[in-house]
Structure 1
Amino acid sequence: MSDVEQASKEQLEAEKLSGSQRLESDNSSLISVLRERKLTWKEATLLLLTEYVVLAILAFPSSFRVLGMAGGTIATLLIGVLTYYTSHVLWRYCMKHPEIRDICDAAYALTGTRWAWWLAFVGLAANNWAIMGLHVVAGATAVQTIRGGVECTLVWAVAMGVIMWFFSNLRDFKHMAYIGVLASSTMFICVWIVIIGHGIQGHPNGWVEGDVIKITTWAPEGTTFVQGMNALLNIVYTWIGHALIPSFVGDLEHPEDFPKALAISMCFEFILFSVTGIVVYRYAGQFSTAPGYGSLLSSLSRVAAGFTLPTILIVGILYSLVTSRAIFFQIFPEGSIHRTRHTFKGWGVWVFIVFGGWVISFVIGEAIPFFSDLLATIASVFDSWFGYIMWSAAYFEIYRDTPSESRGLLIALTGAFFFIGGTYVSIQSIINSYHEGAIKAPFQCTNTGFTF
């Protein structure tokens, strides 16, 4: 263990003697204590798998359709390697600053200014609330695919939002870790239904007699920069989960064990992401859709859509938990009785924060007519910082006396590329959607599910 890690561990152990830890020593009130910093590395692994083994995996075949087999595979592997490296840098930075409890605290530690905390919070909230809104829409779409669009889509969107709001009133990661097992397990099954289903069905959904399945090595001729960049960003957004990692590390009892969780989850991600893109694109070709179950035939597609529902619901809850805790921790400092005991005031504030977050998310998902492009814009603006640029600054702080500063520069340039290129492409996509008349009506009842 390095001197930095040892010093951080000793500082963290000292902090644990205050606040909630002292309260836990009172056996008469032990049952009413809400425990923080008690996450194990195995539970952190489950949280990472909950975060990464999600519906977005099924967008890889459509990215491969645009980038080609070689282009999609190389992009998946290179972005994955860089994600692993920057996540490791992020962990080392959290070890150096054990006071970090979320991405906002990390921004404050990097700059020493309160405005950086607020900017990071705006990014975290906008990103997470938009993702929560996406899960409202995705849940309604999955149900409409299963049921054939027999009810108003908005009805199912409301139902999804209410279910996720109710279960978002959980307040700790420890319980969320075990609930997340259901999310990652059902998504794992869904992915393999999609993969195997494309291999055993005779032709993909949308195919007609005489069609030839077209597979290209690189991006097909005529692919525009906007199309190619959007496909690349789909892969980037699936890999980037850095905004949640400081929250997990900050709640670990032994944060030095986080690399174990990171390595295990990354192995699963490399396999699932690449195999899904390669196999589905191999069999569906130009008929590849996002999500990938759209190119399956009716019976298989409905089964796959059904298995996405637990993941959609639980991952939405996880993003709500991270955002709500960031707000809650600013209202009540560590050691506060409202964080360590079941008080009326503490629970009242928590329920209000959670409810407000889901109202905002529902409105974002249903009211904004260019929601998918808005999500891409938010991800470009903020994920480029959360995934790359912030950790280039952290890299220079951690490794300032080493000769490998070029790695920090590479991380910064990558983030700048996705920030500038991604934002341009997302805005241009909104403009194109308006010109093509593809902008949806707010709060629509139109069937958004796949038809067969």
Structure 2
Amino acid sequence: MSNNTYHPEGLSHEKFDRTGGNDLVEGDREMGFTGLGLPGDVFGEEENHDIKYKTMTWPLAAVLMITEIVSNGMLSLPSSLDAVGMVPGVIVTAFLGVFATFTAWLLIEFKLRHPEVHNMGDAGYILFGPIGREILGGGTIIFAVCATGSQILAGQLALTVLSEGKLCAVAFSGIFSAAVAICSFPRTLDHLSYLCIVGGASIIIAGIVAMAGAGTVPVNLGNIVIARASDFTTAFISITNPVFAYAGHFMFFTLISEMKHPQDAMKAAWTLQIVATTLYITLAIVTYWYIGQGVSSPSFLSLSPLWSKISFGLAIPNFFIAASLNIHTAAKLIFVRLFRRSRHIHSHTFVGWGVWTFLILLANVAAFLFAVGIPIFNYLVGIAGSMFAAWYTYGLAGAFWLHDTYHFKGGYTGWSKRPMMFILCILTVCAGGFICAGGMYATIYSLREASIAGELPSPFQC
């Protein structure tokens, strides 16, 4: 791991970094250190600025997390249970919820020790130097744009179901992309978080209504599989559905940078994981039980026509608001990198708003073109998720702890004095590598099989 630490203005590492474990972070808090208002902080002092970023409370941060993470990904979970069986599917989903909570804690502690970190690119600089910054920063942008494209396709499907296909699917994608672009424009996450109250509520209500619809009009009641043997590719793709359903950690650094009290970030993470894991498991079990084997992905398609329309209609606000969060994250990474410590960050300048508008439109256009113009886009989303989300949500969290403990707790001695955490973090890094390699293999294999079978759709298809 690199000894490099990113400081935008050449700031002293010793002066502003607080590292080495939760005990030191707590000690810093006792001395009044919170990472707010210090020169090493991303946005610095904001008292006299026109645009203030550090205004978000932890409940709003929790709502933002829920909106982004608890989204269309959860609609694939019932089919995952069908692929591997109810018991293994539920165990994997519950385990990943606990695992994601652990890695969220590691990311949050790293952020509290390094207040200058705004995104995964900054964290990559600390761990691996300039190359790490470019890879992890670029990966964040790629994954965010792909995730937005996936939400556009979910919105397209929802509008198609609601209209019974009375308009070309590409037109629906364009309409949905325009809504995403409009919602992406606020410069601060605090303003977006109020929209997220609607987005978070909509997906939770849609899930509850979908379960009610499945129970009211069951398809194949109780025809489920407790455990199913399947080949590696099928099983791994099914298991990665819940893996990617928790994949929102890539925006945690950006989100925490705009919190009024970053030390409260773990409260938001706990709220997220409790809501997400509870809803995921409940929706998957109830839907699978009432629909039975052969449940579709997304699962709303397996409901009766009326309940499918109601559920999709309720979920639409979440789809485009979650997409807006992804676009905002990608644009904010580039924007902060261009203008960090300049007046364009905090003032209503022509250059600042011009660049921000360009970045928002560019990211939205790219997501739209990828979603409707690339026949293998769904497979590209799987590859991007395997390459980046596996590391952002899981593997890198272990590397953060290993780095800080090594450099600020006595090197190898610091590791040896904390054997349990050392082992857990090594396993976390290995888990990220396993999910990355296995997910890429399974996705590429599936793409090859679909290509041979002639199942790939045409670009810009109605």
Deviation at 1:227, TM superposition (A): 1.0
Is the contact made by 1:5 and 1:96 (CA closer than 8 Å) also made in structure 2? no
Is the contact made by 2:143 and 2:388 (CA closer than 8 Å) also made in structure 1? yes
In structure 2, which of residues 421, 436, 440 is the aligned counterpart of residue 419 of structure 1? Answer: 436
- 1:364 maps to 370
Residue identity in the other structure for 1:218: A
- 2:35 maps to 12
Deviation at 1:17, TM superposition (A): 10
In structure 2, which of residues 282, 287, 291 is the aligned counterpart of residue 280 of structure 1? Answer: 287
Q: How many angstroms apart in 2 are the aligned matches of 1:100 and 1:23?
A: 17
**Cα RMSD after superposing both structures:** 1.9
Secondary structure of the residue aligned to 1:287 is coil
Quick check: 1:385 aligned with 2:391? yes
Residue identity in the other structure for 2:401: Y
Is the contact made by 2:246 and 2:393 (CA closer than 8 Å) also made in structure 1? no
Q: How many angstroms apart in 1 are the aligned matches of 2:261 and 2:27?
A: 11
Secondary structure of the residue aligned to 1:12 is coil
Residue identity in the other structure for 2:25: V
Quick check: 1:309 aligned with 2:326? no
In structure 2, which of residues 28, 47, 51 is the aligned counterpart of residue 24 of structure 1? Answer: 47
Alpha-carbon spacing, 1:278–1:356, altered in 2? closer, same or farther (3 Å): same
- 2:72 maps to 55
1:292-337 CA distances to partner (integer Å, 9 max, x unpaired)? 1111111111111111110111000011111110000011013x21
Matches for 1:39-118 after TM superposition, within 5 Å: 39-111=56-128, 113-118=129-134
Unpaired segments ≥5 residues, structure 1: 205-211, 446-452
Alpha-carbon spacing, 1:213–1:441, altered in 2? closer, same or farther (3 Å): farther
Quick check: 1:215 aligned with 2:236? no
Alpha-carbon spacing, 1:55–1:17, altered in 2? closer, same or farther (3 Å): closer
Which one scores higher on RCO, CA 8 angstroms, separation ≥ 6? Answer: 1
- 1:450 maps to none
Quick check: 1:375 aligned with 2:381? yes
Secondary structure of the residue aligned to 2:36 is helix
Is the contact made by 2:79 and 2:297 (CA closer than 8 Å) also made in structure 1? yes
- 2:3 maps to none
Is the contact made by 2:119 and 2:137 (CA closer than 8 Å) also made in structure 1? no
Alpha-carbon spacing, 1:155–1:13, altered in 2? closer, same or farther (3 Å): closer
- 1:226 maps to 233
Aligned residues between the structures: 428
Q: How many angstroms apart in 2 are the aligned matches of 1:20 and 1:270?
A: 33
Quick check: 1:130 aligned with 2:139? no
Unpaired segments ≥5 residues, structure 2: 1-21, 406-414
- 2:343 maps to 337
TM-score (norm 2): 0.89
- 1:449 maps to none
Secondary structure of the residue aligned to 1:286 is coil
Is the contact made by 2:72 and 2:151 (CA closer than 8 Å) also made in structure 1? no
Secondary structure of the residue aligned to 1:375 is helix
Is the contact made by 1:97 and 1:109 (CA closer than 8 Å) also made in structure 2? no
Secondary structure of the residue aligned to 1:124 is helix
Secondary structure of the residue aligned to 2:74 is helix
Is the contact made by 1:101 and 1:251 (CA closer than 8 Å) also made in structure 2? no
Deviation at 1:6, TM superposition (A): 4.2
Deviation at 1:48, TM superposition (A): 1.1
Quick check: 1:351 aligned with 2:367? no
Q: How many angstroms apart in 1 are the aligned matches of 2:45 and 2:198?
A: 34
Q: How many angstroms apart in 1 are the aligned matches of 2:157 and 2:196?
A: 22
- 1:395 maps to 401
Alpha-carbon spacing, 1:103–1:20, altered in 2? closer, same or farther (3 Å): closer
TM-score (norm 1): 0.91
Secondary structure of the residue aligned to 1:123 is helix
